[in-house]
Structure 1
């Protein structure tokens, strides 16, 4: 990798090997959203730079969302990545490129793409096992289908919000203790789910299946995701059809989408699967699509968990194959998420339901406070990194959200 002429912070997770995409505005022009690529502590205005240098992809970058660029497909994604790398390393181009760099601290980040559909999976064996033990103590922790296919549900695209957007405590029906009938009111068990999201670029036609090797032809990149959850509302409503109001009120995503091409050195083999999977999910002879992503969950500035994504039982390639095996089409801007990322140790659990074992074992914070579930005013921040080339790191930034009181 050539050296950037732009001075980059030492050990930055946003070096030339990363180059994640986002959408931003500046105080000088708050009405014009621009597609930008982050490098170090700056954002490059890709459309303005492409126009200045006569790049053929200038038009698809000159939009207030990433969707036109996402729809252009993998050859275009790779061509623009090569161009951006050249712009930032060729010293002869510096006079044309440098005026289009904006300090990150001067930018306001926005939802980077228009979300078409949202699917949330349930792909951590550790998470699913813990939940099963809590709620089905006298039965098998995993349901009979869990090790045969990625379990998921269709969420609500309209409530996907960018990092930093406040989350209003949801209200709904809940069953309190031994009460004979439900009551209505604010959730008392507001929770988070630390997840990894995958952003679809190239669409498909109805009836077309996406096989395991085709993940990179359809998925542009990866973001962080917090699928906020009202556990008491969810517990009352989910039988027999699954999550609804307990999940649909807010899903937060990070503002930076890391291209799959930036994660080549983070690819790892997933855990062994037993029993063997059906052929359309069997990746034993494929290049592995497990990803070594290290997450950190923070509450009010304190680290409470460090979930490892590398241990997820199902990969994004398997999730995408399963999503489309029935002929369901993909649309540009589709978002699918991993489900809660949890590891085998308590300090690796990706939600407070697990961290506190359904509220029975509070989490002690360094300031002397403790939590079972989230209180009004709490702020959650999820960050992550993955191994990059030559011992470097690929950063994902963070996804944050502060809890506001319910509005009744």
Structure 2
């Protein structure tokens, strides 16, 4: 097993973040930021990379012939190569820039919808859907990996089916095996649940899908920032993740695709810079990834994301993941000792990554979140864009704490203490 980051190394990492070097204070005490599952703080190197580009290298990429365009384009495409290497893509051309992960997932779903409308490209017939075909998801999906497939099913006449969750909000390989059949054409699921932290057995699931000829679409938003991920080895056809959850800027997301799938997928959004030939009657499109990057791109954000990848690699993803595992182990163990507190997801550390969500008997999550905020403990409350999952658990909302490579043991303990404090504050009878 990899050795985790030491406390001194964590302190050094925190010093690289302006937010942690000069944190907001509540009652004179630095806040405990436990909401990286929603958005991560950014190191100075990421902020500086974006600022430097805007101050000294800003130019329209892939346009014009003056030297500054070449410099900007090299930085833009260099970041693509960094991201490709970081997630195990075979080539930079497998990385498509999107606005965010939600947008990346929609690129796939809307592109398949274009095939149904008769607007495919060479090889697009593999995406044809119709009555009798099935799109499979899980009941635990973030809305971003559910609603696009709901709408695609309505467009095409395919049936949307889902793998139900158990009483903990998780699902199993056996449940997937029972749900996948010869009619399954698309299987979309999260690598790590943003509510339960459940780590799906991706390679085995891809094998099941391939056996029936189904396309796999992976929501990797909560995995890529926290654990080493090699999408090429996992074998997924498509994957999506966000820059702002992995120390990068807002406004930039990533769609990964296998070369064959990207080549066969038509663009759903069209316009400048994605074409090879346009007449008044028709258009021919560039090969991937440029085919999917219509219009002016978020160039400074892309450069910032490249810097975020540099930072994560220098921190060592294997050792960072080991560190986060220890923190979540401490978090989960503490939660399980709290009376009246229900832990969602795996009831331990097996198959769990980066986060833990709870429901407190007798308290609404929003009240809990407000109390924690007053204690300087910053967490996410609500349904976390996963209403079906919460409904299956008999809940309207939950309180989620998430960790990152900069999180400290003290911050985890402050969360646990604040939960006890909330129970006392609202007059719940719990043991001292």
Please report the TM-score for the alignment, with normalisation by the length of structure 2. 0.22
**Which has more strand, going by share of residues?**
1
